[in-house]
Amino acid sequence: MLNRESRVLIGADLLCRLVSRNVSKLPSVAITRTRRELQEVCELLYRQYRRRGYCADSAQGIYMPEHITRDETVTFIGRLSDQTTYGTISLMQDGEEGIPADTICKDKLDLLRASGARIAEVGLLATELQSTVSKKYSLKSLDKMRPLFSLYRRMFHYALCENITDLIISVHPRHKNLYSFLGFRQLAAEINYSGACGAKAVTMHLEVDYARKYSSPGIKSLFFTNVEEHKELPRAESRV
C-alpha cells in the first residue's frame, strides 16, 4: 500500500497533467517593466508579508527589499483576466553581491559556485486570491494551484532560457512538501531567518537539469516543456 506522501505526489502529478493540457487557461504572467508595476508588486508583497509577520510596518504600505531592484533580479507580475494583479515571484540571479540565501548557507552555495553552477534564488513569492479561493493551498485543488503554477511556470521557463543550472529557495517549513514535490531538496538546516523578521525558514536546492530529465511526467509537461514560447524574453530592463 502506498504511503501518504506517495499518494499526495501521485495526485499532485495528475494535477499538473490536467493544468498542462490547457495552459491557455493559466492566468497571465509578465516581467515587470515599469515603476508602477514594481510598485504594485511591492504593495502586494507588503500586504501579504506583513499579515504573516515576514516584514516590518511601513507607513508607505510597501515592501521593497534591496535585492528586488538589482539588475540581476527579474520580477514577474501575475494578472487575472480582468487585469487584477493576483501574484508575483522573483528570480534573483547570482552576481557580485550574491543572493539572499548567502546569509544562511554561503559555504554550501560557494561549493556550487566552485563547481561552475549558475545559481539563482527564487523568492518574493506572494499571491492575493482570497476573493476567489481559500487562503490555504492544496496540491489536490486545481482552482487553488493553477494561479500559483502559472507563476512557477514562467519563472522556470525564464531560468531555462538564462541557462540557470541551480535554483535556491528559502521557505517556511510548512511549505517544504510543496517544494519537495517540485523537486527541491533541503540544503540547510531550519533557522529563524532575519530576512523574514525571524520567521522559521528552510533553504532548499533544485538541480534544474536533473529536474528537467527525471521529474514526474506531469511536472515535466507543465514546467519544463514548451520553453520556446518564452524564448525571446530579454533580461530585466531598467524601469522607467
- The reported pLDDT for the residue numbered 225 is 86
Residue 7 has pLDDT above 90, yes or no: no
How many percent of the chain have pLDDT more than 70? 85
233 is a domain residue = no
165 is a domain residue = yes
Q: Report, as an integer, the average pLDDT of 97-108.
A: 96
Q: What is the pTM of this model?
A: 0.88
Residue 226's closest CA among 14, 13, 19, 9? 19
235 is a domain residue = no
239 is a domain residue = no
What's the number of domains the chain is made of?
1
- The reported pLDDT for the residue numbered 105 is 96
234 is a domain residue = no
240 is a domain residue = no
Q: Report, as an integer, the average pLDDT of 17-21.
A: 86
- pLDDT grade for 134, boundaries at 50, 70 and 90: very low
109: left (phi over 0), alpha (psi -120 to 50) or beta: alpha
**Domain harbouring 129, CATH code:** 3.40.630.30
238 is a domain residue = no
- For 64-79, the pLDDT digits (tens) are 999 999 999 999 999 9
- For 155-187, the pLDDT digits (tens) are 999 999 999 999 999 999 988 888 888 889 999
Residue 195's closest CA among 129, 99, 103? 103
237 is a domain residue = no
Pull the grid cell for residue 136: 490555504
Domain span holding position 15: 4-228
